[in-house]
Amino acid sequence: MEKYLLSVACGTSQLHKGEVTPPKLCLPQMDPSSPPFLLAKLTPLHSEQLLQGLNLLRQHQELCDVVLRVGEAKIHAHKVVLASISPYFKAMFTGNLSEKENAEVEFQCVDEAALQAIVEYAYTGTVFISQDTVESLLPAANLLQVKLVVKECCAFLESQLDPGNCIGISRFAETYGCHELYLAANKFICQNFEDVCQTEEFFELTHSELDEIVSSDCLNVVTEETVFYALESWIKYDVQERQKYLAQLLHCVRLPLLSVKFLTRLYEANHLIRDDHTCKHLLNEALKYHFMPEHRLSHQTMLLTRPRCAPKVLCAVGGKAGLFACLESMEMYFPQNDSWIGLAPLSIPRYEFGVCVLEQKMYVVGGIATHVCQGISYRKHESSVECWDPDTNTWSSLERMFESRSTLGVAVLAGELYALGGYDGQSYLRSVEKYIPKVKEWQLANLKAVLALLMERYDPSKNSWETVASMADKRINFGVGVMLGFIFVVGGHNGVSHLSSIERYDPHQNQWTVCRPMKEPRTGVGAAVIDNHLYVVGGHSGSSYLNTVQRYEPISDSWLDSAGMMYCRCNFGLTAL
């Protein structure tokens, strides 16, 4: 058959008999500013097509150059594909190992289904992970160094954490060197300790594993009694074998944080404690903490009494910076590098509000806020509430209180936020309401039910108030902090002058002790405790608004200067988080 060529040249076409030659293009004159080429980026389509092509070759056993054998199963594959996703296979097929020249490689300690899943992943980029497969898939992927599959297995296991399996997952992660999963599982154990200590896995812990858990500063318990009861339950699970570990484990309980009543009851009525000389000695030392104040002011005692889940940073928010200057700004202080950073501001400037922390979120309640209407600024007592989420650095508005309140008291009890008293702009209030996060609403509370939250001294077991020793100075607008079993009060105003004094109250001695005063007086001050140090922040000196920060060291009875805030603040919110 004769061949013809269609020639296209400058708009004309001709048929020529004979050999076929490529057509020539006649392109218009190029714009000098346009690039004379095109780089077509087809990577996603090309990658997909390449994987599909390689997978078809594998499925049809075409061009395969290795067989992976597990038991009786044989898996055909291409060495280059396996080596591209696994350093293990790359070393096997390119190094000096005998498998380099072998057409068949046998695996002794890899699950068949797991190896098949990893080969499927090499050719498809997908892997099926479930509760049934992850236990064999992760070890196989870890052995073969397929990091992305290991990472996805760890993410899946982290999503499955619950009180009944978190200890097992922690052990599993440690066995296979999955550090991030191990940390996540241990964090879950600590955060959910009160539920975890009721599970079968908990009672099967070794004494060294239990020691590590209950020594953690991050153990989330309402009281140290929970830690003691957990240890006691673990020992009673196999008392003959485990009683010998009681004294060692009791060192992990922060015994001075237990009440005198609880310690005395243990000493007198708990036969496990009563029959162990070392345990009795530990309880005696804890009782000395309560009855001999000089024992509290030592570095050793500070280690034994550091609270669980202790705050790490300070948050300062809102307040006044001048007679007519109201702030909405917020900043955070980091003690480890003595620095402040700015954070998301409140939705409106406000001062004389209540502030507290609940479930690691900060709540700003009521106060006096500055509003602007048609260019005119005015102040209003607030019933509004804002909540700050540290994970996202965002504020959200919550349900309003029933009443507007400034200069109120706020406290957290049993997972609920209480707003007490205050001033609504016309009258002083005695009412109390509480916010329940689970249902996101306020309820009016019975005042008698929350008397223990108020400050004189209230004994809930007797349902009565008692008079205690008076402070050395009269005070309003002062700071309060609790550490080492003492209540510290600092600064304020006595009706005549601004105060620089600080004093501490010992509830067991019913006695106040005057401490070394601050370098300058301040009222409307913020105070909070981090790592058994009292931070005193901002306020008003009597002549100026302050941004300065001082840190009180209780052991040496001395003050140190810390970095100042970005803004001067008075009558603001300060809390440790």
Instruction: Judge contact between 491 and 518, C-beta under 8 A.
Output: yes
SS3 68: strand
User: What is the torsional sign of CA 28, 29, 34, 38?
Assistant: positive
SS3 147: helix
Q: Which of 21-25, 183-187, 244-248, 520-524 has the lowest mean pLDDT?
A: 21-25
- Give me the domains of the chain, ranges plus CATH numbers: 54-160 (3.30.710.10), 205-304 (1.25.40.420), 317-324+331-337+468-577 (2.120.10.80), 346-466 (2.120.10.80)
* % pLDDT > 70, the chain: 92
pLDDT at 521: 96
pTM of the entire predicted model: 0.75
Q: List, for residues 144-170, the tens digit of each pLDDT value.
A: 999 999 999 999 999 999 999 999 999
pLDDT at 446: 65
Cα within 13 Å of Cα(114), Cβ side: 22
Retrieve residue 376's tokens.
Answer: 């005119």
Q: List, for residues 474-515, the tens digit of each pLDDT value.
A: 888 899 999 888 989 999 999 899 999 999 998 888 889 999
Q: To the nearest 10°, report the CA torsion of 17, 21, 22, 26.
A: -70
CA distance 575 to 316: 7
Residue the block writes with tokens 């070392």: 278
User: Which stretches of 366-493 are assigned E, i.e. beta strand?
Assistant: 368-373, 376-381, 385-389, 394-398, 409-413, 416-423, 428-436, 441-445, 458-459, 464-465, 479-483, 486-490
pLDDT at 30: 64
Whole-number Cα distances in Å, 91 to 76, 144, 439: 19, 11, 58
User: Which stretches of 269-351 are assigned E, i.e. beta strand?
Assistant: 314-317, 330-334, 339-343, 350-351
Whole-number Cα distances in Å, 156 to 119, 120, 151, 181, 268: 20, 19, 9, 10, 49
Report the pLDDT averaged over residues 464-472: 82
Whether the predicted pLDDT of 450 surpasses 70 = no
User: What is the torsional sign of CA 492, 497, 499, 501?
Assistant: negative
The residue type of 278 is T
CA distance 117 to 95: 25
CA distance 555 to 298: 6
Identify the band that residue 18 occupies on the pLDDT scale cut at 50, 70 and 90.
low
Q: List, for residues 362-394, the tens digit of each pLDDT value.
A: 999 999 999 988 888 889 999 999 999 999 999
Instruction: Judge contact between 441 and 400, C-beta under 8 A.
Output: no
| Terminal Cα distance for the chain, rounded | 89
* % pLDDT > 90, the chain: 66
pLDDT at 455: 37
Report the pLDDT averaged over residues 119-143: 95
CA distance 392 to 402: 28
pLDDT at 4: 40
Q: List, for residues 297-352, the tens digit of each pLDDT value.
A: 777 777 778 888 888 999 999 999 998 899 999 999 999 999 999 999 999 999 99
State how beta strands 511-514 and 526-530 pair. Answer: unpaired
Instruction: Judge contact between 576 and 530, C-beta under 8 A.
Output: yes
290-294, 452-456, 458-462: which is most confident: 290-294
Phi, psi of 533 (to 5 degrees): -130, 140
Instruction: Judge contact between 303 and 297, C-beta under 8 A.
Output: no
Instruction: Judge contact between 451 and 458, C-beta under 8 A.
Output: yes
Report the pLDDT averaged over residues 178-184: 97
